[in-house]
Chain A
């Protein structure tokens, strides 16, 4: 307790923390000491630059390994050699790979991702057009899975080994063992074909109708969220049960006469949230990758389906751009997770480790 009080003298509103009170999520307004946060951000950005360069070099190299000829696949199988050579010259594909990579990299610094080989449109505007759907889908899936996971874990940890715990364990196991494409098809079969509650394919933009938008994203969100839910709920449940069984502050809280919900919500859960944030961050990569499959099944016009189209016509510029954007988003999300981690963990928040 003393650590919090000593630290809170520097922490603005935090110094209203009452003496002897265990830190909880709702009792104090977390404040970042700016120097710690800023140095974290700077350090992360410094390591992110080589990682992103590596990612882009790797994809460029892989895309150049692709057998078959981009120009040929754009023109169709019966193009003459002269036509192919002409198109290659137009697209700049006849130049050495390293030259093209450096040029692409140079454009990147000016915010230019190049032009699509297939359609000639600027890649950045193609990505901007498609990313809203994917972003909405990912956010909905994260919110749905973590809310469900925390709720389920609370029910389970209140009475470990009882019905709710078992149901939660089975649901979690089913969640991590069900591929999203299998779940998606089962959902379509159940809710779009037999019950006709949700559309099976297509997307309604939010400007058109908010309800329609949610309805069109319901099944994709569930399909994407289930595996994620499994991972999160198993983690939170394990963490909560461990705290409830073996930590002194829980015993103290119980001895004060608090009910089990109070103990769980105010004393155990805030501590588990710190770990949960890390788990969420670690699993964002697979989640974003999973949108490729889910968007394909539900015919959503997002980044994933754009990527698939581009890979199929060997449109290297678009693939390169999407991979880069996804890598940057994943890295930024991990950074946000670390900042959130600081907000949630008072020891880090007050600059004490």
Chain B
């Protein structure tokens, strides 16, 4: 009967707005991390436009290493004379853009591969899983490193190289979720009423595996941010003059003893963002799996 109830509720839930509202107004385990994430998003994408921050690159050496709360530089400047606040905001833009795109690519491409693989089964499934095993078999960071070096730095190339391991991960999750849905009566009845595989996957399987994939994506945003930061930290990923939280940490590490704030500021932003993503994903998973 639980299935029937869910169906009923699904039929009645009309607008996405109201659905989001219902998620946010519940217990605070969803609202708090969501609010923090929103704040970070607004700060990173809205602040430069709203208050006109100095450029994150090309600062003058004459202004190097200013302490926090200097005139025109709220958080001071780094060793190259660039405004720290502006670098954090622009670095955040890069990190968030990369993490979100990698997960969207993973969700769409990996989700499709996994759902098709799980739905069709047999030969196709075996073939696809063997290929994915290759990617899952070994340390992703090592692979990403080689690819990132191969493709060169920059936002787009970093997205491609990170997608190389987000796609198999999503495919795994989508496949196991599909296998669970596959045996249920409504899929069989859809098959019997003559729907082709593509229609069935799209209309009957996809809506049922979506919640699981979406929570996985939220947790994935955190994971990708950590790895992207690591790549930029090592000097791959986003390349030096352009800011990213990862390469800011690496740069600040050289002056760690004299000015730890240059490391601690981007570190805490990264930590806060990843923590909020994890808390939000975790809370949504609890809520959706309880239903």
Contact = CB atoms under 8 A, between A and B. Distances in A.
Given A185-B267, A189-B256, A286-B141, A177 B222 contact: yes
B267 A289 contact: no
Contacts of B226: 179
Q: Which of B133, B142, B149, B256 neighbours the largest number of chain A CB atoms within 10 Å of its CB?
A: B142
Interface size class of A (residues with CB under 8 A): 35 or more
A286 B230 CA distance: 12
Interface in A328-344: 330-331
Given A173-B278, A173-B279, A307-B145, A289 B139 contact: yes
Interface stretch (A56-64, A74-82, A125-133, A210-218): A56-64
B263 to A, nearest CB: 6
Contacts of B270: 179, 182
Contacts of B275: 173-174, 177
Contact of A292 (B152, B234, B260, B263): B234
Interface string A168-199: 00000110111111100110110001000000
B22 interface: no
A42 interface: no
Contact of B249 (A178, A185, A286, A290): A185
A297 B263 CA distance: 13
A58 B249 contact: no
B216 interface: no
Contact of A327 (B138, B147, B260): B138
A308 interface: yes
A66 B278 contact: no
A67 B152 CA distance: 8
A177 B274 contact: yes
A323 B143 contact: yes
Interface stretch (A11-19, A47-55, A109-117, A268-276): A47-55
Contact of A181 (B151, B249, B260): B249
B72 interface: no
Nearest to B147: A62
Nearest to A291: B139
A292 B234 CA distance: 9
B142 A293 contact: no
A296 B234 CA distance: 8
B271 A178 contact: yes
A249 B187 CA distance: 37
Contacts of A52: 137
A330 B282 CA distance: 28
A65 interface: yes
B267 A186 contact: yes
Interface string A27-54: 0000000000000000000010011101
Interface string B230-254: 1001100000000000100100010
A288 interface: yes
Contact of B274 (A179, A308, A319): A179
A288 B274 CA distance: 21
Nearest to B228: A179
A134 B149 CA distance: 22
Given A182-B270, A193-B256, A311-B149, A293 B137 contact: no
A301 interface: no
Interface string B129-162: 0110110111111110111011110000000000
A174 B222 CA distance: 12
A118 to B, nearest CB: 15
B172 to A, nearest CB: 11
B260 A189 contact: yes
A293 B234 contact: yes
A326 interface: yes
A52 B135 CA distance: 10
Given A55-B137, A62-B146, A185-B267, A50 B130 contact: yes
A319 B142 CA distance: 9
Contacts of A151: none
B220 interface: no
Nearest to B148: A311
Contacts of A59: 143, 146
Nearest to B151: A65
B137 A330 contact: yes
A285 B229 CA distance: 18
A292 B257 CA distance: 23
Contacts of A50: 130
A293 B137 CA distance: 20
26 contacts: A51-B133, A58-B143, A59-B146, A62-B150, A63-B150, A66-B150, A67-B150, A173-B278, A179-B226, A179-B270, A182-B229, A186-B264, A189-B263, A193-B257, A285-B136, A285-B137, A286-B141, A288-B142, A289-B141, A289-B142, A290-B141, A293-B234, A297-B253, A308-B145, A311-B146, A327-B138
Interface of B: 130-131, 133-134, 136-143, 145-147, 149-152, 222, 226, 229-230, 233-234, 246, 249, 253, 256-257, 260, 263-264, 267, 270-271, 274-275, 278-279, 282
Pairs A-B, 5 closest by C-beta atoms: A289-B139, A289-B141, A54-B134, A327-B138, A177-B275
Interface of A: 47, 50-52, 54-55, 58-59, 62-63, 65-67, 173-174, 176-182, 185-186, 188-189, 193, 285-286, 288-290, 292-293, 296-297, 307-308, 311-312, 314, 319, 322-323, 326-327, 330-331
